[in-house]
A and B are shown apart, each in its own frame.
Chain A
């Protein structure tokens, strides 16, 4: 609103033009009148443009959000505080995190947190889908933020090849080439993508949970998100491993283990057998 005011004053100054030479009394009177007029204009503009919602301290919550608030006040308030404003040293403020964040954290069982540690682990979810939606609605109405689009199939029309390229550029540094996850510093980690649903992957990209960066719609468009989800769900998870047992897709480290545990062990027994036959 202050910017409104400034702009208006500047406009007046420009409209006024170069003043003619007048007597001192008239100049003073004119100045007083202009001041009053400007003040009235500014005040009027304020009352017209100021957001009316801000006048109300507690906007009425919709039905679902009210249900969500009830759940929040029982299960989440300890760490996230009253009105989700956060508690120093326990839990962050949830103002502005959006429904996407709530959906990811609650539906994957990460919230409620089992204990304070480097990073939350995936667990069986505590809340039903309906309750998760209510919680998400509450947080959404409280402070706004990103929202996952409707529907369970968010990879519709996704291009697997394009998704693969995006995945390798944006995701594989942490989640690894096979989506099995990887280590970050100090006990943090990028989790395995295998249990994640379409909606959870989408929500994670939108909200950047834990140590993950946010991939907003400006960085990765919704179409590209669909490509990535299609690659994860249709290639990484359904790949039949044409080469046989995939050794957990942990890269060359388990391959090195296998050559000793399988190859060398089998052949040492073979040489014991052959030498024993002399």
Chain B
């Protein structure tokens, strides 16, 4: 029998043909793998959230192997001596075992918690990027809504997970959640007793939250994330304006192979940062909080950072109780406004923003090019206003810790929060608006006059003027004036430097080649290096 020659180099190709013969995937896969990603760094923020979600799934599965979602009372006899002999729920005992008796359990628990905080933080940072650059505009409103929902579903995922260890902090959070639900007029008591299976805390809430936390909410998150990414592929990425970039194309790198490899690397970086946090920074030391008992509430019992704004709004709310004289009297407690009405308004405003803005501007066009925040001062200022509002509330949520550690009166902190909540947002709006206008003006100035050189020249009549380096060759105008239009991208402001980021330099950590003399803006199509440096002409004095 003749021995066939084995051709190693042809194997992948043959295998691929074999697959395509059977599944006919070459054409759709080519489309997928050729998806173009713009290469600006701000497009990677959403990926941080995606990758921390993957870490959450991986570590979360590990935790379920050891966690017992039951409220049956047991007596702890694990290896953490200061709690031995203490009666507690099986859920808390298994969380302690996870932390002290399961090999690698504590680092997995901490990674899971840090990944949750990172997931929410990355969602917020990504959302700010999308907001401030106008990436949410038509045709991407749906994706904006999905993204906002991801924040709120992530909020639920975080809260249910926070409740599972059944330590003092979990129970305190649950108690507050039950109070919030009770404050809802008419349906409050029914809602609470149906969720808790009776009066707080009941015996069922941990198992209910468990199934919500490991199945329902992650399933919802997964579905929303898939829809989010699917829409990104379908609608394609937005991009910054620049040479060769129009509303009708996407300039960037193909997904396969380089972008996919880079994203694989970035996933490793995100995983590494979470692992470092999980290994080096202690998070939620449940063994110090002890088992939840209704009469145990520690000082500095705060929710995780993304829920803290609700804690803050509750702390700032004056004790305004509404008594309605119907029947035996009906009460709307003050808790209702900051914890039910406020988040309701925030969900509505945040999801509906794209439509509100389009309606206000009567803008029905599709936009695939991003806007620099300075070029849309009103939107940027509104965003700054929202951020200021959120930060005041979040800081107020930790106002007892701040008051104690910085030795400020707690009452002063509360009043500062109340006043700040009214004053900081309009102030942020005004300051941001003026900053945007100033930055715009400076851009136009540089385009008109050129870059400041720092060279002062004395004119024959004794005046001093600064020499400006014009951005374009002086054709017709002796002073290089009025040649350039603003294109919506970074205007060089330093001598011999074009663009905000430095050029791509080859080399892993250290450059293996000398950068070219006159670098170009990132992502620009390669331009011919300039032959000679432009002669420095004298700019005009500012009029």
Chain A residues, CB < 8 A from B269: 267, 270, 274
A187 at the interface (CB under 8 A from B): yes
- Provide the B29-55 mask, 1 if CB < 8 A to any CB of A, else 0: 000000000011111110110000000
Given A165-B86, A165-B290, A253-B300: A259 in contact with B121 (beta carbons within 8 A)? yes
Given A241-B285, A251-B300: A272 in contact with B280 (beta carbons within 8 A)? no
Inter-chain contact A164/B86, CB cutoff 8 Å:
yes
B398 nearest CB neighbor, chain A only: A253
With beta carbons under 8 angstroms apart, the residue of A177, A250, A266, A271 that contacts B168 is: A177
A45 at the interface (CB under 8 A from B): no
Inter-chain contact A278/B504, CB cutoff 8 Å:
yes
B537 at the interface (CB under 8 A from A): no
Identify the interface centre among B43, B283, B293: most chain A CB within 10 Å of its CB: B283
A49 at the interface (CB under 8 A from B): no
Inter-chain contact A160/B82, CB cutoff 8 Å:
yes
B484 at the interface (CB under 8 A from A): no
Identify the interface centre among B293, B295, B397, B404: most chain A CB within 10 Å of its CB: B404
Chain A residues, CB < 8 A from B48: 264, 267, 271
B262 at the interface (CB under 8 A from A): yes
Chain A residues, CB < 8 A from B296: 168-169, 172
Given A161-B84, A231-B82, A267-B269: A250 in contact with B300 (beta carbons within 8 A)? yes
| Interface range, A side | 35 or more
Interface-side segment among B60-68, B225-233, B302-310, B373-381: B302-310
Given A161-B84, A275-B39, A276-B504: A183 in contact with B298 (beta carbons within 8 A)? no
Inter-chain contact B121/A245, CB cutoff 8 Å:
no
A212 at the interface (CB under 8 A from B): no
CA distance A186 to B288 in the complex (A): 28
A175 at the interface (CB under 8 A from B): yes
Inter-chain contact A271/B302, CB cutoff 8 Å:
no
Inter-chain contact A178/B305, CB cutoff 8 Å:
no
Chain B residues, CB < 8 A from A176: 298-300
Inter-chain contact B45/A268, CB cutoff 8 Å:
yes
Inter-chain contact B83/A164, CB cutoff 8 Å:
yes
CA distance A61 to B457 in the complex (A): 90
CA distance A272 to B404 in the complex (A): 37
CA distance A278 to B251 in the complex (A): 13
Inter-chain contact B125/A243, CB cutoff 8 Å:
no
Chain A 203-253 residues near chain B, CB threshold 8 A: 231, 235-236, 239, 241-253
Chain A 163-183 residues near chain B, CB threshold 8 A: 164-165, 168-169, 172-178, 180-183
B139 at the interface (CB under 8 A from A): no
Chain B 294-324 residues near chain A, CB threshold 8 A: 295-306, 308
Given A251-B401, A256-B304: A262 in contact with B409 (beta carbons within 8 A)? no
B411 at the interface (CB under 8 A from A): yes
A128 at the interface (CB under 8 A from B): no
Chain B 104-133 residues near chain A, CB threshold 8 A: 106, 110, 114, 117-118, 121-122, 125
CA distance A235 to B81 in the complex (A): 9
Chain A residues, CB < 8 A from B290: 164-165, 168, 177
CA distance A256 to B149 in the complex (A): 21
Identify the interface centre among B106, B279, B305: most chain A CB within 10 Å of its CB: B305
With beta carbons under 8 angstroms apart, the residue of B41, B100, B308 that contacts A272 is: B41
CA distance A66 to B527 in the complex (A): 94
CA distance A278 to B401 in the complex (A): 44
B486 at the interface (CB under 8 A from A): no
A252 nearest CB neighbor, chain B only: B302
Given A174-B299, A249-B288: A271 in contact with B281 (beta carbons within 8 A)? no
Chain A residues, CB < 8 A from B295: 169
- B240 to A: closest C-beta gap in Å: 12
- A113 to B: closest C-beta gap in Å: 16
B265 at the interface (CB under 8 A from A): yes
Chain A residues, CB < 8 A from B339: none
Given A164-B86, A189-B404, A277-B262: A173 in contact with B299 (beta carbons within 8 A)? yes
Inter-chain contact A255/B121, CB cutoff 8 Å:
no
- B520 to A: closest C-beta gap in Å: 12
A17 at the interface (CB under 8 A from B): no
Inter-chain contact A263/B114, CB cutoff 8 Å:
yes
Inter-chain contact B281/A258, CB cutoff 8 Å:
yes
Given A177-B289, A244-B279: A271 in contact with B44 (beta carbons within 8 A)? yes
- A121 to B: closest C-beta gap in Å: 9
- Provide the B136-173 mask, 1 if CB < 8 A to any CB of A, else 0: 00000000000000000000000000000000110000
CA distance A241 to B279 in the complex (A): 11
CA distance A182 to B280 in the complex (A): 25
Inter-chain contact B86/A183, CB cutoff 8 Å:
no
Q: In terms of DSSP, what is the predominant structure of the interface of chain B?
A: helix
Number of A-B contacts (CB under 8 A): 224
- A195 to B: closest C-beta gap in Å: 16
Inter-chain contact B285/A160, CB cutoff 8 Å:
no
B466 at the interface (CB under 8 A from A): no
With beta carbons under 8 angstroms apart, the residue of A182, A231, A244, A274 that contacts B265 is: A274
Inter-chain contact A245/B280, CB cutoff 8 Å:
yes
Inter-chain contact B501/A276, CB cutoff 8 Å:
yes
Inter-chain contact A264/B410, CB cutoff 8 Å:
no
CA distance A268 to B504 in the complex (A): 17
A260 at the interface (CB under 8 A from B): yes
- A169 to B: closest C-beta gap in Å: 6
- B263 to A: closest C-beta gap in Å: 9
With beta carbons under 8 angstroms apart, the residue of B121, B262, B306 that contacts A264 is: B121
Chain B residues, CB < 8 A from A268: 41, 45, 125
A184 at the interface (CB under 8 A from B): yes
A3 at the interface (CB under 8 A from B): no
Chain A residues, CB < 8 A from B443: none
Inter-chain contact A271/B41, CB cutoff 8 Å:
yes
Chain B residues, CB < 8 A from A189: 403-404, 407
B217 at the interface (CB under 8 A from A): no
CA distance A184 to B409 in the complex (A): 8
Chain A residues, CB < 8 A from B479: none
CA distance A256 to B304 in the complex (A): 7
With beta carbons under 8 angstroms apart, the residue of B47, B85, B100, B301 that contacts A242 is: B100
Chain B residues, CB < 8 A from A277: 262, 504
CA distance A99 to B285 in the complex (A): 38
Chain A residues, CB < 8 A from B274: 263
With beta carbons under 8 angstroms apart, the residue of B122, B279, B505 that contacts A267 is: B122
CA distance A169 to B289 in the complex (A): 11
Chain A residues, CB < 8 A from B40: 275
- Provide the B247-291 mask, 1 if CB < 8 A to any CB of A, else 0: 000000100000000100110011001100101111111001110
Chain A residues, CB < 8 A from B308: 252-253, 256
6 more CB-based (< 8 A) A-B contacts, given A177-B290, A241-B285, A253-B308:
A187-B412, A253-B305, A255-B305, A271-B41, A274-B266, A275-B40
30 A-B residue pairings within 8 Å (CB atoms): A161-B83, A161-B84, A168-B168, A168-B296, A168-B298, A169-B296, A172-B297, A173-B297, A173-B298, A177-B168, A177-B290, A181-B299, A183-B403, A184-B410, A185-B410, A186-B410, A186-B411, A250-B405, A251-B298, A251-B300, A252-B305, A256-B306, A262-B273, A267-B270, A271-B266, A274-B44, A274-B262, A275-B522, A277-B504, A278-B39
A interface residues (Cβ-Cβ under 8 A, vs B)? 118, 160-161, 164-165, 168-169, 172-178, 180-187, 189-190, 231, 235-236, 239, 241-260, 262-264, 266-268, 270-272, 274-278
Closest 4 CB pairs of A and B: A256-B305, A182-B299, A243-B282, A275-B41
